[in-house]
Amino acid sequence: MEPEAKYTLVGAAVLTLLALIVAAAVWLKGSGGEGDDRPYKIYFARQSLEGLQIRSDVKMQGIKVGSVTAFRISARRPGSVEVVIRVDGSAPIRQSTRAAVERQLLTGIASIRLANIDENSPPLTEVPQDEPYPLIAEGESEYKLTESVSQVALRADETMQRINLALSDENQVALSEILVNLRQISGGMSRSMAGLDKTLAALGHAADEVRGMSAVIRDDAHKLAQRYDALGEESTTAVREVSAAVRQISVDVAQLSGRMDALISDGNVELRVTAQELRSTADALGAAARRLGDPGRALFGPAKGSMGPGEASR
Amino acid sequence: MKPFVPAVLVSGLLLAVGGCASLGPQEAQRYYVLEAPNVMQKAAATPRAATLLVAPATVSGFYETQDIVYSRAPGMRAYYQLHTWTERPGRRLSELLVMRLERAGSFSTVATVVSGVKGQLVLGTHLAEFYHDAAAAPGSVRVTVTAELTDPVRRVLLARRSFERSAPAATYDAPGAVQAFNVAVTALLDEIAAWVEVAAPR
């Protein structure tokens, strides 16, 4: 049987389609490619890059201005990580620009935040010798609360060990009650910190109150750490003095814990509502997924052997 | 060639309709509400000034589902296929517990932990067992809950106790089991409320 297809028409259609595909590819390459982007390099030595990925966002004042294009452990600066980013040409990258790693505490996804210390400083264009791109300096991460408290806890533990070694058995008995109380309060602080992480994640970075309170807590933690150090140095003094110092530490920790509790309860309404909505949604999704998880069951019903007592076999 | 087009369209339509239809018999799925019928109980003579917060119940993994669980042999569990709860038993148990404690009137306020209300006592529960023991007809249901009363201010455990209840199923099937679950849960909630009344400091 002679086919009815017209070869000319088919050929023309195929060629037209190919031309369209090539045009689309060129257009996409032009719009999504490097264009006016400018590369910069950052050496991170003090901040963890956990959660950072190729194509992670680079943000400035909350707006995405670029993305991460490469990173690797630095051979030039041991202990550092080299991160190459491409930033939109219109973004005001200046000599005073500092880079910090921002991390969604809930998801762990990281991005790089650029901030200008001085908006009047000259644009960053100079490429250092032996470097392919201009260097943006590393800044300070705003979210070191957990680390601070971990350090405090570590120092507290060390201090307690030193006290135990230095003091006699009788003195240890006299102190044990106070130390137990201190540990309990410190435990409360750790739990509060876990809640604080969630609250910060839920509220986002725009909450100025959270930032302000975070700074206060940081200061308290620092003060607390200093006091622990002092206690460690004075571990040979009389029990009475040590007890007084430990009590003062307890007060500090309790104050710190109370502040964090207040912070969490202040911002908790949004978190609670969000958590409840998430839970309901997750439940509904889970139920739907269970029903659809087994296509065989959806089509043919439950297997004969899986029927419960009194359930009719299909 | 033209008659071919309608044939394709009709076939596609039939396939689509056929794909939407289940091939199995249409036996309806049945949903049950876990209930604890109101039992008239005398309210506490002098309610405490404290606020009691009830934490959402934690649940052993296998029971964290809307499916009703049964057991045909010791150490084995399975789900009813055509009968389910309207809500997960753990969540429903927390709701019923709050209602039960409110009715008891032992505290000025009873609220859930997620309500944002500040409280002096927290009652946490863990649902460890919740199944229809169907080893022999008609079987019975078993419910085991561990309750903990804590002081969140001082962060100390005030009391802990495990509650276990069993109730015979009226019939050897899911509806019979559900009735027995209602009976067992009602008795268990009464028992927890009485325990809290004793364990909570005045």
Q: Over the stretch B54-79, which tens digit does the pLDDT of each residue have? A: 998 988 888 988 999 999 999 999 99
Q: Is the pLDDT of residue B200 over 80?
A: yes
Of B25, B116, B174, nearest to A314 by CB-CB distance is B25
Which residues of A fall within a CB distance of 8 Å from B94?
none
Q: Express as a percent the part of chain B with pLDDT over 70.
A: 83
Task: For residues B198 and B22, give the distance between their C-alpha atoms in angstroms, rounded to a whole number.
Answer: 55
- Inter-chain CB proximity A301 and B83 less than 8 Å: no
Higher pLDDT, B39 or A15: A15
Interface of B with A (CB under 8 A): 1, 22-25, 27, 65-66, 68, 70, 72, 78-83, 88, 114, 116, 118, 132, 134, 137, 139, 155-156, 171-177
What angle, rounded to 10 degrees, do the helices at A169-203 and A145-166 form?
180
Q: Is the pLDDT of residue B191 over 90?
A: yes
Is residue A41 within 8 A of residue A136, CB to CB? The reply is yes
Which pLDDT value is given to residue A263?
A: 46
φ and ψ at residue A192, rounded to 5 degrees: -60, -35
Tokens (6 digits) for A23: 């045009």
State the DSSP code for B46. Answer: S
Q: Calculate the alpha carbon distances from B105 to A155, A312, B46, B186 in Å.
A: 47, 45, 9, 17
In the structure, what pLDDT confidence band is assigned to residue B113 with cuts at 50, 70 and 90? confident
Higher pLDDT, B28 or B136: B136
- All residue ranges of chain A with pLDDT < 70 are 1-5, 29-35, 104-108, 141-301, 313-314
Task: For residues B57 and B94, give the distance between their C-alpha atoms in angstroms, rounded to a whole number.
Answer: 6
- SS3 category, B182: helix
Instruction: Look up the CATH architecture of domain B26-199.
Output: 3-Layer(aba) Sandwich (3.40)
The interface predicted TM-score of the complex, written ipTM, equals 0.72
Which pLDDT value is given to residue A205?
A: 42
Which pLDDT value is given to residue A267?
A: 43
Q: Where are the domains positioned within chain B?
A: 26-199
Is residue A182 within 8 A of residue A253, CB to CB? The reply is yes
Q: Is the pLDDT of residue B145 over 60?
A: yes
Which pLDDT value is given to residue A235?
A: 46
Which pLDDT value is given to residue B42?
A: 61
Q: Which of B196, B201, B177 is nearest to B34 (CA)?
A: B177
Task: For residues B134 and B173, give the distance between their C-alpha atoms in angstroms, rounded to a whole number.
Answer: 9
Q: Calculate the alpha carbon distances from A149 to A144, A186, A253, B69, B185 in Å.
A: 9, 10, 10, 45, 44
Which pLDDT value is given to residue A50?
A: 78
Tell me the β-bridge partners of B156.
Answer: B151
Average pLDDT over residues B146-174: 93
Which pLDDT value is given to residue A150?
A: 46
Question: How distant is the Cα of B44 from the closest Cα of chain A, in angstroms?
Answer: 31
Angle at A241 between CA A239 and CA A242, to 5 degrees: 65
Q: Calculate the alpha carbon distances from A178 to A163, A186, A236, A263 in Å.
A: 13, 12, 17, 27
Tokens (6 digits) for B62: 């296998």
Which residues of A fall within a CB distance of 8 Å from B70?
308-309
Residue of A nearest to B71 (CA): A308
Question: How distant is the Cα of A144 from the closest Cα of chain B, in angstroms?
Answer: 26
φ and ψ at residue B80, rounded to 5 degrees: -65, 140
